[in-house]
C-alpha cells in the first residue's frame, strides 16, 4: 500500500495528512483556499465555528513542541472540537505499554483524529496504517521525514504576500539534511509550480541526492540569494545532528546566518520566513527577524487557519462546504 493510497479515501479526498509528497496541486490548492475561509475567525468576537462539534481530536506528541501543539489545539477548539492532550512522558507507554495498546485504548474512547508528532521518521505513517477505519491521522512532524502542516502554512503565507507561485524564485537556507520542514517545503513548492527552488548551505548539511528534488544547490549565501522573492530560513537541528556537521555556530552564522547585508542580495520586496523557534545570532540576525520584511509572526498566526483547514478537510468538510457557516461563526 502506497503513502498516497493511505492518505486518500476511495473518492480521492484526504483521509489522513501525513506528507505533501504524493498529493496533487488541486488538493494543496483546496487546503490553501479552505484556510483563507478560516483566516478571519480569530478576529471574530466569538472565535469559533461549529464544523467539528462533537468530534474528539487527540494530540499525541511523543516529541515536545509547545508552539505546534498549541496551534493544533487552538485550531481544533476554533472548529468546536473536543481536544485531548496526551503527555507521553507520563503516559502508560513510558511504563511498558506499547504504542498500539495505547492507540486501542484511545480508539475505545471514540476519538476521531490523532495529531502525531514523533522523533522517529515514519511514525505517523505507522500509526495511520494501524488505526481503526474511522480515525484520521495528521502528521505534526516525524523525525527528519516530513512536517506537512508547516509546509502548508508556509505556502499560505507566501501566497498571501506574493500571489501565484509560477513566477517565484525561492531560497531555502540552512540545515537541509536534517530538516523535515525543508523536505515538505520542497515538495509543496514543486507541486504548486514555483519557478525556481534553491537550497543554500554547507556541503555537510546538503543531502547528496537533493538534486533529484528538482532544486538548484548553492554553497555561497550571496549567490544563492541573488534576485530571490522569498527567503526561507531553517533552524539548526541540534537535537537531530550527530557528528561534526558544523565547525562552530559562530562560523555558521558568518557564512549562512541571514543579515541585512546578505538580504540585500535578494529582491527589494523579498520576504523572510522561519519555521521557529529562532536561534538568533545563529541562523538569523535579530534586525532581520524583527524587521519589515520578516513574516515570521504571520506564519504563526496563519498556522492556525491552515491546521483548521486540514482538520476540516480530513474529517469530511472541504472548501466548498458550508462557507456561510464559517463566516458567521458559532452562535450556538
CATH architecture of 148-295: 3-Layer(aba) Sandwich (3.40)
| Helix-helix angle 66-78:296-314, to 10 degrees | 50
The whole-number average pLDDT for the span 307-331 is 63
The whole-number average pLDDT for the span 283-295 is 97
Q: pLDDT digits over 165-219, tens only?
A: 999 999 999 999 989 999 999 999 999 999 999 999 999 899 988 888 999 999 9
94, exposed or middle or buried, with CB in 10 Å at 0-12, 13-18, 19+? Answer: exposed
- d(CA 218, CA 153) in angstroms, rounded, equals 25
**What is the CATH code for 3-146+301-316?**
3.40.50.1370
Q: Is 306's pLDDT higher than 50?
A: yes
Q: Classify strands 136-142 and 113-118 as parallel, antiparallel or unpaired.
A: parallel
DSSP label of 91: S
The predicted structure's pLDDT at residue 124: 94
285 grid coordinates: 540576525
Q: How many CB atoms lie within 10 A of CB 70?
A: 15
Domain ranges of the chain: 3-146+301-316, 148-295
Q: pLDDT digits over 47-66, tens only?
A: 999 999 999 999 999 888 88
The predicted structure's pLDDT at residue 245: 75
Average pLDDT, the chain: 89
Q: Is 85's pLDDT higher than 80?
A: yes
Alpha helices by DSSP H, listed for the chain, are 3-7, 25-38, 66-78, 99-108, 123-130, 148-162, 180-191, 221-225, 249-256, 260-263, 286-289, 296-314, 323-328
Q: pLDDT digits over 109-164, tens only?
A: 999 999 999 989 999 999 999 999 999 999 999 988 999 999 999 999 999 999 99
User: Which is more confident, 78 or 327?
Assistant: 78
| Domains 3-146+301-316 and 148-295 alike in fold | yes
236 grid coordinates: 539548526
Write the CB contacts of 244 (distance below 8 Å, at least 6 apart in sequence). Answer: none
pLDDT band with cut points at 50, 70 and 90 for residue 236:
confident
Amino acid at each position: 500500500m502506497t503513502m498516497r493510497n493511505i492518505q486518500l479515501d476511495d473518492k480521492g479526498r484526504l483521509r489522513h495528512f501525513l506528507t505533501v509528497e504524493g498529493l496533487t496541486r488541486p488538493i494543496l490548492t483546496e487546503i490553501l483556499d479552505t484556510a483563507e475561509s478560516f483566516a478571519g475567525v480569530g478576529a471574530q468576537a466569538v472565535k469559533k465555528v461549529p464544523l467539528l462539534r462533537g468530534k474528539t481530536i487527540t494530540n499525541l506528541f511523543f516529541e515536545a513542541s509547545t508552539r505546534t501543539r498549541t496551534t493544533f489545539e487552538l485550531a481544533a477548539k476554533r472548529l468546536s472540537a473536543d481536544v485531548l492532550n496526551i503527555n507521553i512522558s507520563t503516559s502508560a507507554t513510558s511504563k511498558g505499554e506499547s504504542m498500539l495498546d495505547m492507540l486501542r485504548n484511545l480508539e475505545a474512547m471514540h476519538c476521531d483524529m490523532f495529531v502525531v508528532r514523533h522523533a522517529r521518521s515514519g511514525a505517523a505513517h505507522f500509526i495511520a496504517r494501524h488505526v481503526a477505519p474511522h480515525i484520521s491521522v495528521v502528521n505534526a512532524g516525524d523525525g527528519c521525514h516530513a512536517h506537512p502542516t508547516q509546509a502548508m502554512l508556509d505556502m499560505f503565507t507566501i501566497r498571501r504576500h506574493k500571489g501565484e507561485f509560477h513566477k517565484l524564485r525561492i531560497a531555502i537556507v540552512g540545515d537541509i539534511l536534517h530538516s523535515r520542514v525543508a523536505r515538505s517545503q520542497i515538495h509543496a513548492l514543486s507541486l504548486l509550480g514555483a519557478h525556481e527552488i534553491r537550497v543554500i548551505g554547507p556541503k555537510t548539511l546538503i543531502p547528496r541526492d537533493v538534486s533529484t528534488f528538482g532544486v538548484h544547490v548553492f554553497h555561497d549565501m550571496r549567490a544563492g540569494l541573488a534576485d530571490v522573492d522569498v527567503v526561507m530560513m531553517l533552524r539548526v537541528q541540534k537535537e537531530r545532528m550527530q557528528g561534526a556537521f558544523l565547525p562552530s555556530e559562530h562560523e555558521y552564522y558568518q557564512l549562512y546566518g541571514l543579515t541585512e547585508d546578505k538580504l540585500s542580495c535578494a529582491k527589494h520586496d523579498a520576504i523572510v520566513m522561519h519555521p521557529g523557534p529562532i536561534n538568533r545570532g545563529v541562523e538569523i540576525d535579530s534586525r532581520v527577524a524583527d524587521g519589515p520584511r520578516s513574516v515570521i509572526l504571520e506564519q504563526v498566526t496563519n498556522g492556525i487557519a491552515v491546521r483548521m483547514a486540514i482538520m476540516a478537510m480530513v474529517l469530511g468538510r472541504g472548501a466548498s462546504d458550508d462557507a456561510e457557516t464559517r463566516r458567521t461563526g458559532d452562535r450556538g
